[in-house]
């Protein structure tokens, strides 16, 4: 598979980013031979409570976590938006700067994808990029054709063990090869993102082992004064501990006002 036009997008709150996120992105990169993997922290998630750590801390932790991963980049394009972060809006942003839907691979866990019908702009959302669904905890990606039968015809199995894998058809759909696309120039060039014609988008399924960890579990461990070693990269652990993130909630002062917590403080001069 030609990787010159393949860009993965891994989005999320990353509050904090953890080993499960990194395993998910790496599995997609291996299986689909992605040229780059773009990690995009969200601003205000539509389906979850607001993040605890500031956007500056979350972006810093993402940048630290992906250091040493060739082809991975952290993007802050959602963090300055005053509105909630929706996947469809993010994908359309990439279209506006020159990407075609067939060049984008939006990466998500199988648990999240089971709720795809609740996402904004569904089902048109699935035409904005390929979706890459990686097994998560007890949910196998290869079980999704049965669990989401209305989408089964769009699903393809991807071999997560190979760096040059070609998607294999599931038992509910015929095999279709991805297009053979020409190489592209660097982002910002006149020809970036241009290709002849359009290709339909698919849902790629990857059954790969990922760390059984969640951001919620990490935050709870911090509240319980337990170590988070191994749950996050060492650099992220150091950052969390240095800035007292996810610790015991700040006490209330005598006047009844809340004392600002350490995690709401500043990072490199930013609120």
CATH number for the region 7-206 comes to 3.40.50.620
What pLDDT score was predicted for residue 253?
40
Share of the chain above pLDDT 70, in %: 73
Strand 72-74 relative to strand 36-41, pairing: parallel
Residue 186: pLDDT band (50, 70, 90) is very low
Report how far residue 91's alpha carbon sits from residue 207's, in angstroms, rounded to the nearest whole number.
Answer: 24
Nearest 10 degrees: CA dihedral of 245, 249, 254, 256?
Answer: 110
Asked whether residue 1 carries a pLDDT value surpassing 70, the answer given is: no
Q: What is the DSSP string of 138-191?
A: TB-GGGHHHHSGGGGGGEEE--TT-TT--PEE-TTS---PPP-PPP---TTSTT
> 171 or 218: which carries more pLDDT confidence?
218
Among 37-51, 98-112, 146-160, the range of highest mean pLDDT: 98-112
- Partnered with residue 168 across adjacent β-strands are 157
Start-to-end C-alpha separation, the chain: 44
Report how far residue 185's alpha carbon sits from residue 47's, in angstroms, rounded to the nearest whole number.
Answer: 37
Do residues 108 and 75 make contact, with C-beta atoms less than 8 angstroms apart?
no
Phi–psi pair at 267, nearest 5 degrees? -130, 115
Q: Where do the structural domains in the chain lie, given as residue ranges? A: 7-206
pLDDT tens-digit map of 258-268: 333 333 332 23
Report how far apart, in Å, the C-alpha atoms of 15 and of each of 30, 65, 113, 256 are: 25, 12, 19, 28
pLDDT tens-digit map of 100-136: 999 999 999 999 999 999 999 999 999 999 999 999 8
What pLDDT score was predicted for residue 267?
29
**Average pLDDT of the chain, as a whole number:** 80
Taking residues 246-250, what's their average pLDDT?
71
Asked whether residue 150 carries a pLDDT value surpassing 60, the answer given is: yes
Asked whether residue 164 carries a pLDDT value surpassing 90, the answer given is: no
Residue 198: pLDDT band (50, 70, 90) is low
Residue 137: pLDDT band (50, 70, 90) is confident
Asked whether residue 166 carries a pLDDT value surpassing 90, the answer given is: no
What pLDDT score was predicted for residue 142?
96
């Amino acid at each position: 598979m030609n990787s010159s036009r393949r860009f993965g997008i891994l989005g999320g709150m990353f509050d904090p980013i953890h080993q499960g996120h990194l395993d998910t992105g790496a599995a997609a990169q291996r299986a689909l031979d992605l040229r780059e993997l773009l990690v995009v922290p969200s601003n205000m998630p539509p389906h979850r409570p607001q993040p605890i750590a500031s956007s500056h801390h979350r972006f810093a932790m993402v940048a630290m976590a992906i250091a040493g991963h060739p082809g991975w980049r952290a993007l802050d394009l959602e963090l300055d938006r005053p509105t909630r972060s929706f996947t469809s809006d993010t994908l359309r942003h990439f279209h506006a700067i020159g990407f075609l839907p067939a060049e984008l691979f939006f990466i998500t866990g199988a648990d999240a994808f089971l709720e795809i019908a609740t996402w904004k702009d569904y089902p048109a959302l699935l035409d904005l990029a390929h979706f890459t669904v990686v097994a998560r905890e007890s949910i196998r990606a290869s079980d999704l054709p049965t669990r989401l039968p209305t989408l089964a015809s769009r699903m393809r199995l991807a071999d997560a063990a190979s760096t040059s894998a070609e998607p294999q058809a599931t038992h509910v759909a015929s095999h279709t090869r991805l297009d053979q696309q020409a190489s592209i120039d660097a982002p910002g060039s006149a020809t970036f993102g241009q290709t002849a014609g359009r290709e339909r988008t698919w849902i790629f399924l990857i059954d790969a082992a990922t760390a059984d960890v969640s951001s919620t579990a990490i935050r709870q461990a911090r509240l319980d004064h337990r170590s988070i070693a191994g749950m996050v990269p060492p650099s992220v652990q150091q950052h969390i501990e240095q800035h007292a993130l996810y610790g015991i909630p700040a006490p209330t002062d005598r006047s009844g006002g809340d004392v600002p917590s350490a995690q709401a403080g500043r990072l490199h001069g930013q609120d």
